[in-house]
Amino acid sequence: MRQGRLSSKPANRPSNQAAREVPRAPFRCRLVVMVKEPVGGRVKTRLTQQAGLSRALGFYRHTIASVLARVGRDPRWTTMLAITPDTAVHSRSWPAHLPRLAQGGGDLGARMQRIFDRLPPGPVIVVGSDIPGITAAVIAKAFRQLAGRDAILGPAGDGGYWLVGLQRRPQIARPFGRVRWSTRHALADTRANLEGARIAETALLHDVDDLADLARPGLTSGRQVLPRHSRKSK
């Protein structure tokens, strides 16, 4: 399999006025992007079946790189990668400037809970890696909303969600038990687990799982930041 580094060029830094859009907090804001090692046949499996391995893998690699180019160097938060499988944490596929952590085992809920449990104090937002609509403005808005709430959710068009954030004060919530993942009930189940908490809801964005999603009007994964021909990793 031919693979290359998911290199992201530095995005334009926000102006001083834009930098003040995210309220000052006693702790550092952290954005965690959950990613899979970009290996053909292991990512976007449904899209691979419909569109072919090359197109599906190309879409996934391009989307990750484009999203990281937009949010990965923003000074208003620290961007980190949560990687699966754990053995891929030291892969040369990832931008060298971004901190990395292993997702560990378990279902999606167990892996996300582990992220919230292990990071240093401060608000944390976790997002998926196959959401072409993620921009710095969207993330900044989510952190602003989270500043006055206990949790925040970003709904997806299929009944799931593309973003979840927790204030993690005075304690860390545990909203992922018994969630019916990969169904239209995932968002509602997570909300039910947060009963009594102050929950914000941010922009609805769409992930891409199949050809119908890929053909959605207005879908974009941003400017091309990957080489046309990837180089084989050593």
Decide which of 208 and 30 is more confident.
Answer: 30
Q: State mean pLDDT over 100-107.
A: 97
Residue 58 has pLDDT above 80, yes or no: yes
For 173-228, what is each residue's pLDDT tens digit? 999 999 999 999 999 999 999 999 999 999 999 988 888 888 876 665 544 333 33
The strand order across the sheet containing 78-84 reads 100-102, 78-84, 30-36, 124-127, 161-166, 151-155, 199-201
Decide which of 229 and 67 is more confident.
Answer: 67
User: What is the predicted pLDDT for the residue at 230?
Assistant: 35
DSSP assignment of 131-185: -TT--HHHHHHHHHHHTTSSEEEEEBTTSSEEEEEE---SS-----TT--TTSTT
For 132-160, what is each residue's pLDDT tens digit? 999 999 999 999 999 989 999 999 988 99
The residue ranges of every structural domain in the chain are: 26-214
Percent of the chain with pLDDT over 70: 81
What architecture is the 26-214 domain classified under in CATH?
Alpha-Beta Complex (3.90)
Distances (CA, A) of 215 to 79, 155, 211: 29, 20, 6
Q: What is the pTM of this model?
A: 0.83
